[in-house]
Amino acid sequence: MQVKFLNTYSLYLHNVEISIMPYKRILLKLSGEALMGNRQYGIDPERLAEYAEEIKTVVDKGIEVAIVIGGGNIFRGIAGASKGMDRVQGDHMGMLATVINGLALQSACEEKGIKTRLQSAIKINEVAEPFIRRRAMRHLEKGRVVIFGGGTGNPYFTTDSAAVLRAIEIEADVILKGTRVDGIYTADPEKDDSATKFDFISFDDVLKKGLKVMDTTAFTLSQENELPIIVFDMNTPGNLLKVVSGENIGTKVNL
């Protein structure tokens, strides 16, 4: 029996290709602003449909997918607090916004035939399951996409922190942060033409260089738990599948 390795992630056995994916379970972090598309606020149904199609390509490969989505397209607690609103009230409004976005993404995914579950850190039993770690992991094992809404359920914590926390709890292999930029740069590439992109960078170097990947709480939690982060352009069709297939897309942050 002859086995020929074609590359790191696939092999041919008697001319039959067997895919070997580097990640079994991922957590995809999306910002609320990503759902706006070209709009100034709210949700763009076309962008939702595009994301759902990207997620389907990954699910069809047998990858277990969990998602945390922000609420910045609807409301930001910090922004409200800066204008005199009580921060705790503002953050709770932001948490509810993430549930709205979660419902929208759930609907878009189900239109593509993807089985999903929406779990919320805030109890809203009529529209979402409460977050229960073992139940979430069981859903993933059954091939369902699990969308986590409501942030951490606590004020003063961002959805970046929620993403890292949930990823650790469900034992995800990696956090994929989908953005409109194709990785981490030495400076903001939208403002500085001389900015250069990192393909790989360590947690320590990110901190030393003062690069903005996630908020400090989330980033430190990821570092302490040795959970790698990949920042990539979610708006380029096919990128999500390329990332989970191990292609050098975006920037990988590791120890």
Hey, what are 29's tokens? 């972090």
pLDDT at 17 over 60: no
**Residue 142: which CATH number?**
3.40.1160.10
The CA distances from residue 232 to 94, 121, 122, 202, 229, in Å, are: 24, 27, 29, 16, 10
According to DSSP, the β-strands at 251-254 and 229-233 are: antiparallel
Classify residue 8: in a domain, yes or no. Answer: no
State which residues form the domain around 147: 22-254
Mean pLDDT of 82-86: 80
Segment 152-164 shows an average pLDDT of 96
Q: Give the separation between CA 154 and CA 163, rounded to whole angstroms.
A: 13
In a domain, 75, yes or no: yes
Res. 131: pLDDT tops 70: yes
Tell me the per-residue pLDDT of 177-214, one tens digit each, with 9 for 90 and over. Answer: 999 899 999 998 888 989 999 999 999 999 999 998 99
Residue 15: inside a domain, yes or no? Answer: no
Percent of the chain with pLDDT over 70: 90
pLDDT above 50 for 9: no
CB 67 within 8 A of CB 30: yes
Domain for residue 16, yes or no?
A: no
CB atoms under 10 Å from CB of 203, counted, come to: 20
Per-residue HEC secondary structure of 82-95 comes to: HCCCCHHHHHHHHH
Mean pLDDT of all residues belonging to the chain: 90
pTM of the predicted model as reported, rounded to 2 decimal places: 0.89
Q: Does the pLDDT value for residue 129 go beyond 80?
A: yes
The predicted structure's pLDDT at residue 6 = 39
- Looking at the structure of the chain, the number of domains it has is 1
Which of 159, 207, 142, 120 is CA-nearest to residue 28? Answer: 159
Over residues 37-81, the pLDDT tens digits come to 888 889 999 999 999 999 999 999 999 999 999 999 998 766 666
**Is residue 231 a contact partner of residue 251, using CB atoms and an 8 Å limit?**
yes
Question: Looking at residues 112-122, what average pLDDT do you find?
Answer: 97
What residues pair up with 215 in beta bridges, in sequence order? Answer: none
Task: Give the residue among 160, 147, 150 at the shortest CA–CA distance from 109.
Answer: 147
Question: What pLDDT shows up at residue 243?
Answer: 96
Predicted pLDDT at 81: 65
Predicted pLDDT of residue 3:
41
For residue 189, CA distances in Å to 97, 192, 209 come to 29, 5, 16
Which has the minimum average pLDDT: 20-24, 101-105, 114-118?
Answer: 20-24
- In-domain check, residue 172: yes
Tell me, yes or no, whether 140 lies in a domain: yes
Residue 247 falls inside a structural domain: yes
**Within a 13 Å sphere around the CA of 130, how many CA atoms are in the beta-carbon half?**
4
Whether residue 12 is contained in a domain is answered as no
